[in-house]
Amino acid sequence: MVHAIRIHEYGGPEALRWDEVEVGDPGPGQVRLRQTAVGLNYIDTYHRSGLYKLPQLPAVIGTEGAGVVEAVGPDVTTLKVGDRVAYAPLIGAYAESRLAPADRLVPLPSWIEDRQAAAMMLQGMTAQFLIRSTYAVQPGDTILVQAAAGGVGLILCQWAKHLGATVIGTVSSDEKAELARANGCDHPIVYTRENFVNRVKDITDGQGVPVVYDGVGKTTFMDSLDCLRPRGFMVLFGAASGPVPPLDLQLLAAKGSLYVTRPTLFTYVAKRDDMMTSAADLFEVVHAGGVNINVRQTFPLRDAAEAHRALESRGTTGSTVLLP
């Protein structure tokens, strides 16, 4: 028997329970992992609250982790006992040990340590598809990143800067502005005292930006549209402030023939080849020094409720890891 964080009903952080669970032997195509680090992501709060429904309850939440293979099932030839691996997105991460499909695990190079791996897979591969696929950032682009001091935001800022873009980012405080600036954000905007639409127009000489990456949602969406130049891309990849209400598509025409998309990592890495390509791209830019993955907070896994409270109250910056 091992311990895991489970929800028995949807709710606030208090719904997270430290339960004893049984992890059996791996079946065909599976391995059993001893987990060494688990990533904390905003999607975890969506699963906990019921914004994103789970197939059944009770359920172990969490979608990202790293660990060591301790047993392999029949027909598994790509991994062996002792291999270090990481994964995302794969529900069931908030556990000391778990079963996982071998074809959803990424072997880790020796230079990536476990906590770093648990902090980089979901957020890093999210940043990868956002700026390499959804809208491919080009040298000379000026882009807007909402919540630039968050986990995905800091990676987006660094990676876009590495690609030769000028980065504008919104943050909630002067402290977060300095953090964003240190991670590639050329123009941090403290939205609590500045109108970010006006500032974006000032920075771009009234033109607007070709793309907005918005993981905030309800409170920023409409203003984000006003930051775009004609035929610009509104990339909504999260809903930290709540889901965006239904949108009158005619508004997109009125604001300049805009594009809106709501992508998720699950779609972009559904095929193993795509997942491995995304992870390889991420590992390459990190190894080259274009992106630094800094774990800025850690919590014991059993204190996941405390970690959720900190995340939802904007009390965290960058990446947070839970330690089994």
Look up the CATH number of the domain holding residue 83: 3.90.180.10
Q: Which amino acid, 91?
A: I
134 in a domain, yes or no? Answer: no
Same domain, 245 and 313: no
Strand ranges of the sheet holding 2-7, from the earlier edge strand across to the other edge: 16-21, 2-7, 59-60
Phi-psi region of 198 (alpha: psi -120 to 50; beta: other; left: phi over 0): alpha
Same domain, 90 and 159: no
Confidence of residue 314 (pLDDT cuts 50, 70, 90): confident
- Structural domain ending residue among the three candidates 241, 262, 283: 262
Same domain, 181 and 258: yes
How big is the chain, counted in residues?
324
Q: Give percent above pLDDT 90 in the chain.
A: 94
Same domain, 149 and 113: no
267 in a domain, yes or no? Answer: no
Same domain, 153 and 250: yes
pLDDT of 111 over the 90 cut: yes
Look up the CATH number of the domain holding residue 255: 3.40.50.720
Structural domain of 229: 139-262
How many helices (H) does the chain have, and how many strands (E)? 10, 16
233 in a domain, yes or no? Answer: yes
181 in a domain, yes or no? Answer: yes
Same domain, 166 and 192: yes
In this prediction, residue 318 carries a pLDDT of: 78
Dihedral, CA atoms, 91, 36, 109, 269, nearest 10 degrees? 10
Same domain, 143 and 257: yes
Same domain, 115 and 169: no
243 in a domain, yes or no? Answer: yes
| CA distances (Å), origin 254, targets 247, 251, 262 | 13, 5, 20
Same domain, 98 and 207: no
- Structural domain ending residue among the three candidates 244, 262, 280: 262
How many domains are contained in the chain?
Answer: 2
Q: Which amino acid, 215?
A: G
8 Å CB contact between 75 and 28: yes
CA–CA distance, 152 with 292 (Å, rounded to integer): 12
In this prediction, residue 147 carries a pLDDT of: 95
CA–CA distance, 30 with 77 (Å, rounded to integer): 10
Asked which of 57-66, 199-208, 232-241, 298-307 is least confident by mean pLDDT, the reply is 232-241
Q: Which pTM was predicted?
A: 0.92
Residue 319 is classified by DSSP as E
- Structural domain ending residue among the three candidates 233, 262, 291: 262
Dihedral, CA atoms, 191, 192, 193, 196, nearest 10 degrees? 20
Same domain, 89 and 24: yes
pLDDT of 317 over the 90 cut: no
pLDDT of 316 over the 90 cut: no
Residue 202: exposure state from Cβ atoms within 10 A (0-12, 13-18, ≥19): exposed
8 Å CB contact between 186 and 110: no
CA–CA distance, 121 with 89 (Å, rounded to integer): 8
> What are 275's two structure tokens?
């997942």
Same domain, 238 and 319: no
196 in a domain, yes or no? Answer: yes
97 in a domain, yes or no? Answer: yes
pLDDT digits (tens, 9 = 90+) for 129-182: 999 999 999 999 999 999 999 989 999 999 999 999 999 999 999 999 999 999
Strand ranges (DSSP E) for the chain? 2-7, 16-21, 30-40, 59-60, 65-72, 84-87, 97-101, 106-107, 142-145, 166-171, 187-190, 209-214, 228-236, 259-261, 295-300, 319-323
Q: Which amino acid, 134?
A: T
CA 290 to chain centre: 18
Same domain, 149 and 62: no
14 in a domain, yes or no? Answer: yes
| Nearest C-alpha neighbor of 21 from the set 59, 62, 48 | 59
Listed in sequence order, the residues at least 6 apart from 284 whose beta carbon sits closer than 8 Å to its beta carbon are none
